[in-house]
Structures are given as structure tokens and as C-alpha cells.
Amino acid sequence: MTFSADGTSHRSINYNSRHVHLIAEDYTSPEGSSKQQVTRTFGIQSSKDGSSEEAIADWENTLKKIIDLYNNSPLGKRSGGLLKFIELLINLAGMSTDHCAKEKKDARLLETLKAWAVDQHLGEEKMLEMTLEEVCDYFKKAEEEMIRKAGGVNKWNKLSDIKKAERKAKMIEEAVAELGKEEFDNLSDEEKHIFRLFIWAGCGCHKDLNTIRGGYLAVAAWWIENGLEEEHPVLLANRDNDPVVQERATALEKGDTLTPAQERAFHKSTRGAIKTAEIAGAIFNNKDDKRGHHDIFRYWWWEHVGVPFTFPDTSNNRFQSYCNAAAALILYGDKFKDFLESLRINKQNPTLNHMELNLWKALHCTSTVTELAVLAIYAEAVSYPYMKAICTSDAQKKNMLDLGPFHSRVYDHMQKIIANPDILIGKDLDISESYKTATLDGEKWQNPAVVKKIFDLIPTLPHFHNLLIAFFKGAAQTWERFTSEFAPGGLIDEATAEERELAHMPATNDENEGLLGSFRRLMHYQPQLTLLSCNALIMFFRNNTQAFMETKFTEEDYQYIHKLGREANGEEKKRRNELTDFRDQRQAKKTARKEVWEQNAKATAEQIAQLELVFDKEKVPGLKGTSLKDQLRLFKSAGAPNLKQGPMPTKVADIRKALVDAIDLHTNGAWKLIQDEGSEGENINLSEEEEDEEDEEDEEDEEDEEEGWEDIEGYESE
């Protein structure tokens, strides 16, 4: 049994889709005599936040609800056995997700939870073999250790009953786990391996997506690494940044100093194939139906090109949408230019808007077209065949863990093209036959017309070969990183056929991705639906519920379900309240923490304000503890230049050295205290008489100034 999951946000709430992949009874077979690999959904659950810790808590709650429901049901009682949370976790053999760090952390925490369940299970089994006297002695020792850690009997007796109960429960759990660990150590290596079996694998679609990204980043870096900034693809600055970028270009021509705003606008602006595909998607197939040209583009295309065509959905960032967009822009580049020209002429003010003008510039830029061609040819050679194979494997319910050799073959194919690009783009290749060595699967090109167009363009694209190799190198490096679970010597590589079957998981994460997408669309069209109603629909149709009920249910099972349905009133309100209460509690904790921090900071500042700086280096070695740290804070607040930037030293030796350096800098005149700067040029060793005389002179000066002001005011009034 394995799990899979994915998450998204909808209307500012985090939602998670979760599935289980396991061997289950085939309800279509006579009397359920056969079993099959199936995928069942747990539905959609809202989450209090997006943390992994909260995700694991949600997993626990979901599983425990299912266990309670089954154990209390007539069906569960008829089966004669109880479903246990620990036993479910022990049977968990792995998890498949996408490649984001959060989902990987979820998998690691689930693996830790399984290890806890194994220890608990083995500990309980060991206790059943012990006599009552042995069990009592064992827990007596554990209780004595608990009291000792609490500080002794007196301190233990001062604890509240709730605290005592909490610590006793924790003590029992830890004592059982300790027994379990001892039993685990006595198992054979094979038994240990089965108990600890937990394999993670990433979604195949996300491997391809990230590989394309890695390849394109290598292409973008190639221009800079080879000093070809002047031949870069044309800059496609947005409407706000474009005027500032133009000012920057003018300043460079005149030799003027660039402003920070000009530099920021330039570096924030992007260029190249990906940006071009993104702009084209926003113009021709915007995710907002009120923006872009949509049907007017489709109608024009049908009339002038003769085929129905919808531009790839780069506006929604679908899998392979950028590769598809690159192929379309390469194959029909002239037609897109014609449409933009038609668009311009038909406007009341015959000019393209800023976004349309950016696309026009990109389509006329040789470097941008080169990048588009590289992206399109990679898709034909690697991406399309891989996605076809991985999605077919998923549809055929093949095990992702059995696809290690296939993923190695993808890497090997990339390396072959890097070593000899001619097998893909050689001058003497017959396009009708070249697919046999050029494509990953050796099957025909998905879009032969695109490949032919690229071959026709290659003579006009001076950097095509170099960019192609750069793309494949970047893609190969990224591929190696995103297929690390299949590395030689890893869990999947060393797993036996039986273990891989125990950890059977799909090749893609389509179940969760698709379910979340369906959920968002369903809630868009039926916002009145509660999450409970939504899950009822989802789970009924996706979990083969009708066949299950027809096979397993009796009249009392239907009555039990009806009873649960009536009791479910108020669940939606409870869910909403939990989300709100969680945020309120977090806000209260953060506010209280901030208040404590401010109070501590104020107290520390007041304490430091009463201290004096120590400028005697001989006294620094004698400073310890709080006194040493206070001096460090004092020197920093006084403006010591060596303490202005970077982290504050934390080790005693480093703090003392920093203080000595600050004293030396002050002695050498590198920095001065505020009072020093205020008294600069004055004699600070005045006698009392001189001070009195100076005070009198100051008073006379003040009187003269006041008289002068009166004269001026009188003059102005006249």
C-alpha cells in the first residue's frame, strides 16, 4: 500500500488531495475471488496551513476517521476483526508526490510515523509474551525514571493531575517503543528491511517539466558565458519597465551613469523563447476570457490557414504547453506575423499594443527564433516520447518503481545527442527516416512538419548547434537530479520484485493533480456546495462505491450510512470554525510573542543605557557572560564600524577580538562617539573659572542674538 498527495489553494484556503494505491477485491468477479491494483481517493481536505506538520496531522485524522467509521459499522462488526491505525501504517510502503520540498518533507515525516508504528507494534507483541510480573516491573522502572527526570518525588507531587496524566501517557508510549526497538534489533535483516520499507518516487510529468526548465536555463546562460550579450534575444520588457529600459540604453550610448531604477528595470525584464511563448499565450489564448483575442484569432486562423487551431495554454502553464507553443511559433511564424499585421490595420488607432509589439519583435529576432527551434526539437526528440510512455504506463497501471531502466535510457539518449548532435540534426539526414535514431522511442516524429521547418531554418540560425548542445547538457544535469530515486544503490534499485510490488505506485501524480483541478472548477460553478457534499460526489464516482455497496451492503449497512448522513449536519460549520480559530490562535500567539520581545528589548536597552563603554583593552579579557555581551551591544549601538555589517560574533574569543578591534579603531580616530563629535575643536579640560567665563560669554551672545532678531523683526514690520 502506498499514498500519494498534492496540494493547492482555492480562495485563500489550502486544500489537499490524497489517494491510496493498494490491492483490493475485484467486485466484478464472482464472489470477489480475484484482486487487482486499484487507486482510491480520500477526497479533498482543507488544511489549516501549508506546513508539513499540519499535513501529517491531517493524514492521521483522515485515517483515524476511516478506522472509527469501519470499526463501528455493521460491515466491520460482521468481519470479526478490528482495523488498527498502527497496522495501517505498518503496511504503508511508500509515497509518490511531485518534487517540491514540502511534499518530500511530508514523505519523510510519514516514514518517521511508520517507524514509530513499527516500534509500537513490536513492543506490544513483546509485552504479550511477558508475564504480568515482568510487565509490572518494566513499567515500574520506567515510572521511576519519569519521576527522576521530573526532578524527584517532591516536584512530581507538585504537578497538576493533567500534567501527570500527560507525562504518564508519554512514558507508556516511550516504554513500549523501547521494547519494540529491542525486538527490532533481534530481527533478521530481511525482516528489518520489510518493516522499514518506505520508498518515495516523484511524478514523471514533473520530471519532464523541470528538465525542460533546466535545459532552458542552460541556454539562457550560454549567451553570457560566451560573451554574446549583444546577440542576446531581444529584450521583452513589460509596459512599465520599457520606458526605463529605453532610458538606460540612451544613458549607455551617452556614457552617463546608470541609475538604480534603470538597472532594476533592465534586470527584471526577461527575453527569449519562454517569455515569447508566454506572451503569445496571453494574446491568443488568455486564461481570462475577457482578455486576449481568443475567438477572433481562431476564426481568422481557420479562414486563412485552413485548420482549426487553439494556441497552447501557456497562460495556464499546462504540461508541455511551452514546447507546444514553440513548435507552433516555429511552424507558423509567418502566419502569426500576418495575424498581428491584420490586427494592427483593423484597429481604430492602427498600432499594436505593447504586448503585441513585444511578440512582433520576438518573431523577427533570430536569436529568439533559435531558442524556439531548440525547445521544439527537444520536445520532438525527448519530451513527447517520454510523456507518451509515462502516461501510457500510468493508464496501464504499471509500477513507477519498475521504470528505472526506462529513466536511465532517457539520460543515455540525451548523452548520445550531446556527443553527436548529427543523429538529431545532421545535414545528410533523411527526415522521413531520422526519427529512428533521433527520438527516444525510435518511433515517428510527433510533428514531422515542425521538424522539417526546423531543418529548413537551421542554415539561418548561426548559434543553433551550440544552443542545442547547451540545452541538452542542462537537461541531462537536471534529469539526473530529478531521477535520483532511481540511482544505483538506492532504495528502488536494490528493492526486490516483491518489495517493489508492495510499494506499487503510479507513474504520474495525475489523480491528485486532476482531482484538485476538478474541485476548483466544481466549486467555481457550484459555490454553494459544502466540502462534505463535494467529497461525497468525488468519492462515490472515483472509488467504485456502487459496486462495493452492491457486493457488501445489507439493509443495516444502509441504515448506518443514513444515520451518519443525518449526524453530519454542522460538519461544514465546524470545519470553517476550525480554520478561523486556528488563525485567531496563531495571531494571539504572535502578538503575545511580539509584546514579550518588545518588553525584553526595552529592558535590555534600559540596562545597556546605564552602562559605560570600556575603552581599556586590558579590561576586555576580564569581561565575561552578560557583561561581555552588553559591551558588544554598546559598541554596536555606538557605531563601531567593524560591528555595523554582518552577523554579530557569538563565541567568547570572537566577541573579545571584536571589542579590541573596535577600541583600536576608536583610538586611531576611525570612528568617534556622538559626544566626541559634538565637542570637536573645544578644550575639554577647562577649569571651573574658564567654564564660568564661557557660560557668561554664551549668555551675552544669546542676548545679542535676541536683540538682533528684534531689529530684524522691526525692519520687516515696517
DSSP string, 472-496: HHHHHHHHHHHTGGGSTTSHHHH--
596-621 pLDDT tens trace: 999 988 887 887 777 888 888 888 88
Write down the pLDDT at residue 284: 93
Map grid coordinates 507518451 to a residue.
388
State how far the Cα of 434 lies from the Cα of 426, in Å rounded to an integer. Answer: 9
- Is residue 283 within 8 Å of residue 256, measured between CB atoms? no
Say whether pLDDT at 372 is over 90.
Answer: yes
- Is residue 665 within 8 Å of residue 646, measured between CB atoms? no
Q: Which of 64, 57, 68, 67 is nearest to 14 (CA)?
A: 57
State how far the Cα of 519 lies from the Cα of 8, in Å rounded to an integer. Answer: 10
Q: Which of 70, 10, 21 is nearest to 44 (CA)?
A: 10
pTM of the model: 0.80
Write down the pLDDT at residue 45: 92
Say whether pLDDT at 359 is over 70.
Answer: yes
Strand order in the sheet with 94-97: 35-47, 13-25, 2-10, 94-97, 199-202
The radius of gyration of the chain's CA atoms, rounded to the nearest angstrom, is 36
Residue 128's beta-bridge partner residues? none
Write down the pLDDT at residue 646: 82
Write down the pLDDT at residue 584: 93
Strands 35-47 and 13-25: antiparallel
Strands 35-47 and 94-97: unpaired
- Return the SS3 of 255: coil
Nine-digit cell string for 335: 502566419
Map grid coordinates 583600536 to a residue.
664
Higher pLDDT, 243 or 44: 44
Write down the pLDDT at residue 49: 87
Say whether pLDDT at 199 is over 90.
Answer: yes
27-72 pLDDT tens trace: 877 665 688 889 999 999 999 888 899 999 999 999 999 999 999 9
Confidence at 664, pLDDT banded by 50, 70, 90:
confident
State how far the Cα of 368 lies from the Cα of 355, in Å rounded to an integer. Answer: 16
DSSP helix, strand, coil percent of the chain (3-state; round to 5): 70, 5, 25
Over range 565-586, report the average pLDDT: 89
State the number of CA atoms in the 13 A half-sphere of 586 facing the CB. Answer: 8
Q: What does pLDDT average to over the chain?
A: 86
Over range 497-507, report the average pLDDT: 91
State how far the Cα of 492 lies from the Cα of 271, in Å rounded to an integer. Answer: 40
Write down the pLDDT at residue 32: 55
Over range 492-513, report the average pLDDT: 91
Helices (H) and strands (E) in the chain, counts: 34, 7
Chain CA centroid to CA 369, Å? 32
- Return the SS3 of 242: helix
- Is residue 400 within 8 Å of residue 392, measured between CB atoms? no
Q: DSSP states of 395-449 as a string?
A: HTT--GGG-HHHHHHHHHHHHHHHH-THHHH-TT--HHHHHHHHSSSSPPPS-HH
Listed range (111-125, 220-234, 534-548, 699-713) with the worst mean pLDDT: 699-713
447-485 pLDDT tens trace: 999 999 999 999 999 999 999 999 999 999 999 999 999
Nine-digit cell string for 89: 501504517
Say whether pLDDT at 406 is over 60.
Answer: yes
340-353 pLDDT tens trace: 999 999 988 888 99
High-pLDDT (> 90) share of the chain, % = 46
Q: Which of 308, 283, 307, 305 is nearest to 294 (CA)?
A: 283
Confidence at 715, pLDDT banded by 50, 70, 90:
very low
Over range 85-107, report the average pLDDT: 91
Say whether pLDDT at 718 is over 60.
Answer: no
Nine-digit cell string for 171: 512514558
Count of beta carbons in the 10 Å neighbourhood of residue 218 = 21
Write down the pLDDT at residue 589: 93
Listed range (26-40, 412-426, 491-505, 613-627) with the worst mean pLDDT: 26-40
Write down the pLDDT at residue 330: 95
Write down the pLDDT at residue 701: 44
101-118 pLDDT tens trace: 899 999 999 999 999 999
Quick one: which H or E segment has residue 5? strand 2-10
- Is residue 51 within 8 Å of residue 31, measured between CB atoms? no
| Integer CA distances (angstroms), 597 to 247, 592, 628, in order | 46, 9, 21
| Integer CA distances (angstroms), 543 to 20, 40, 132, in order | 11, 5, 45
Write down the pLDDT at residue 358: 93
